[in-house]
Structure 1
Amino acid sequence: MPDSTPTWRKADDDIVHGRQRLIFVRDGSWQLTALAYFADGQVTWQYGPPSDLAGLRQALADGTLALAPPDGTVVHVPGAGRFTMTADGAPWTAPMVLGDIADEVDGLNQRPDSSRRAYDAFRAYADDPSEERLETARSAYLAVPRHRRIYMLGDMDHNDVPARILLAGIGEEIPARRPGTTLTVTAEAKDGALDYFLRITPAVSAWERRHTADGPDTPTAAAVVIGGHVHPQGWPDPPGLDVLQNDYPASVVHRGREYRTVTHAYWALSTGDPAWHDRIADADRGFDAVEVAFAAPRRDGWAAARLAVMGTLLRDKCRRHPLIAATLLSTGDARVLYSDTGSCYWTRDGREGSNWMGRLLEVVRSELAAGRGGILS
């Protein structure tokens, strides 16, 4: 079955990250479609209402969805035509895919997946080899999708053999690491398996300390969306995260000239013509400033300089308006997704968006945090 790929959806003012993979759906006839699942547990597919993992399990059980329709079935592929299904002996089963998806949802939430939970359970059993902890380890091991168990320990020299030795009875024969071979579980083998987990525990702990010494690799807070709101009747009170929009009425100053908003300043500075500059700066609203600026000539080298200009203006905005700076800091380490400019360069409203505005806000937020902590003056 093809690997999953990233996806996302908007939920209120947030972005919910997810993954998607191909699946077959039956709605009178069979069709190849995308199965999407998200960090909040929502699962979606064509022709069906939003569901969850339990709903996906039921849809696979009742034939609404299939990993492979019956041999000889004509399948429609939107935009590509039709093909006739032929049996290929693919080893994928519904429990395998459901297990994979549950693990991926764990990953989207930066929490341990089934393999890591089983791994930790065996390490806990090695520290205190009680029957209760062994049963906990057994349950955790059986919860790992079968095709992923050999990778559970992250050790391809041993696969999951040490775990299976501990779960087996003395005298029992179990598959060995080499295909087609077996080993007989002895008391010595069990002692060796226990020693394996005792030896790797400090090594793994040391690696984890080194790996996270510089902080988490991914944000711990949910992504936040800035922009995408129009307020023709005036800004909300309190404005919340809307204060981080570029057209929010918070003045900035550049080279002694005060501008009503970041939007006014950015677009006024985009032209080298003094008359156009003043017309843009004097516009009533940010929207009007943009409309005027579209007709103005751009200054030479603007495309190469605009990122630095925007960064300078955002820093000035936060420096002059402490409450805005506090609002930005309140987002923690969340990914900032900006969706207000209609430009793929600045925004993240589509897969092609570069989200430079959001990235600059994250940089300014980091500078504010460093200043607050006395790291940078």
Structure 2
Amino acid sequence: MPDTTATWRTVEDDVVRGRQRLIFVRERDHYVLTTLCVYADGVVVWQWKSTDFDGIRAAFDDGTLTLAPPEGAKIIVAGTATGPVSLESWLTPELVICDLADEVDRLNDRPDSSGRCRNALIAYAAEPTQSNLEIVRERYHAVPEHRRIYMLGDMDHNDVPVRILLAEPGETIPARRPEHTLTVTPETRERALEYFRQSERGIAESRERNALDGPETAIATPVHMGGRVYPNGWPEPPGLEVLQVDYPAPVVHDGQEYPTVMHAYWALSTDDAAWRDRIAGVERGLDARVLAEEAPRRDDWSAFRLGVMAALLRDKFNRHPAMAQQLRETGDARLLYSDWGSRYWSSDGANWLGRLMELVRSELAAR
């Protein structure tokens, strides 16, 4: 988007992508022009403040953030200028918040409000029912008003085909240019429907050309795993629970056997032999993790822990064919692993456990 630029921050050694835009922040008797950043995980940051969407809405409501300071207010643009300036903004706080929500969708490779509206339009063109039209109406009005003209990516037609479909027969559609104003008729509605049918055909052809190497994203529904504790023993049959790193499944690393991947991972996190044996000898994987918190950590652990986990997962699924089959049966679904102890491994952060299991699954399939 032309009014935002890319940014990023690190969370437990992982990079979280973001976008930033300008905003005014009230400080005592003046306003400072600063950057407002939104990140893929929904965190919103300005200056030293870190919050979420509820927090930014409250900041607009109480005047901490503003798009245009009051008439005659002192404005500071760091390193550039200071003084009273009269400003007007054609945006509103709610439009900015909607923009930020769209940014979060795009940063997570999800359809934003415009994309969701386009999808609804394609569905309506294929099956022009009243219920589908109401979905189009709802999603069109969810697109920030100042973005609607761009939502189709067509600078010749703008959003006119959408407005034709949402209008009543005989209604006049105001165009961006007066000479393009038109009255809705059955013929104009049919042309608008055909516009979206052709658009879908073009998109399908583009997908076919671009997907010679297979789909860019998983087709199957994401699979959630991990994060479950069974104090009275694992369920029988265990199903997807066998994929958890603390599920009883012996693994071997450098000639030494460990009861689970979790035992091995935390034992290998220390270079103290006595601590390593103690961690490897506890009953459950979760106990190994708790005990390892007291052990001295290897200085270079963060540099190669990812490789250690990858090696342990490969060994687990090579050594236990039934568990490997359970992993393969997840198909091409995105694997989302919940780990209450680390956002580095968990799907609410970098999801490295899920990503490594997808890699091992692919290697098993290739074999």
- Would the aligned equivalents of 1:125 and 1:133 in 2 still touch at CA under 8 Å? yes
Rounded Cα–Cα distance in structure 2 between residues aligned with 1:143 and 1:269:
51
User: 1:171-225 CA deviation, whole Å, 9 max, x = no partner?
Assistant: 836335xxx5521425454443333223333333454566678345279648889
Matching residue of 2:179: 182
Structure 1's unaligned 5+ residue stretches are 227-234, 271-275, 299-303, 342-346, 371-375
Report the count of equivalent residues.
335
**What's the offset of the Cα at 1:66?**
1.5
Task: Look up the equivalent residue of 1:172 and give its one-letter code.
Answer: T
Query: TM-score w.r.t. structure 2 length?
Result: 0.58
**In structure 2, the residue corresponding to 1:182 is in which secondary structure?**
helix
**In structure 1, the residue corresponding to 2:194 is in which secondary structure?**
helix
1:2 to 4, 22, 25: 4
Matching residue of 1:232: none
Rounded Cα–Cα distance in structure 2 between residues aligned with 1:113 and 1:267:
40
- Would the aligned equivalents of 1:250 and 1:321 in 2 still touch at CA under 8 Å? yes
Task: Look up the equivalent residue of 2:150 and give its one-letter code.
Answer: Y
The reply on whether 1:150 has 2:149 as its aligned counterpart is: yes
Matching residue of 1:66: 66
Change (3 A) 1:204 1:60: same
Change (3 A) 1:75 1:324: farther
Task: Look up the equivalent residue of 1:2 and give its one-letter code.
Answer: T
**In structure 1, the residue corresponding to 2:174 is in which secondary structure?**
strand
Task: Look up the equivalent residue of 1:182 and give its one-letter code.
Answer: E
- Would the aligned equivalents of 2:328 and 2:361 in 1 still touch at CA under 8 Å? yes
- Would the aligned equivalents of 1:339 and 1:348 in 2 still touch at CA under 8 Å? no
Change (3 A) 1:324 1:201: closer
**What's the offset of the Cα at 1:115?**
1.7
Change (3 A) 1:254 1:143: closer
Rounded Cα–Cα distance in structure 1 between residues aligned with 2:70 and 2:28:
14
**What's the offset of the Cα at 1:365?**
3.8
- Would the aligned equivalents of 2:245 and 2:262 in 1 still touch at CA under 8 Å? no
Rounded Cα–Cα distance in structure 2 between residues aligned with 1:50 and 1:305:
33
Matching residue of 1:231: none
Matching residue of 1:367: 363
Task: Look up the equivalent residue of 1:185 and give its one-letter code.
Answer: L
Change (3 A) 1:315 1:212: same
Rounded Cα–Cα distance in structure 2 between residues aligned with 1:36 and 1:354:
17
Structure-to-structure mapping, 1:325-336, within 5 angstroms? 333-334=334-335
Change (3 A) 1:173 1:260: closer
CA RMSD between the two structures: 6.0
Change (3 A) 1:18 1:324: farther
Structure-to-structure mapping, 1:1-377, within 5 angstroms? 1-3=3-5, 5=7, 23-26=23-26, 28=28, 30=31, 32=34, 34=36, 36=38, 52=54, 56-57=56-57, 59-70=59-70, 73-74=73-74, 86=85, 91-107=90-106, 112-127=111-126, 137-166=136-165, 167=167, 170=170, 172=172, 174-176=174-176, 180=177, 182-185=179-182, 187=185, 189-208=188-207, 214-215=214-215, 217=217, 221=222, 244=245, 251-253=250-252, 258=257, 285=280, 311-320=310-319, 333-334=334-335, 359-368=355-364, 370=365, 376-377=366-367
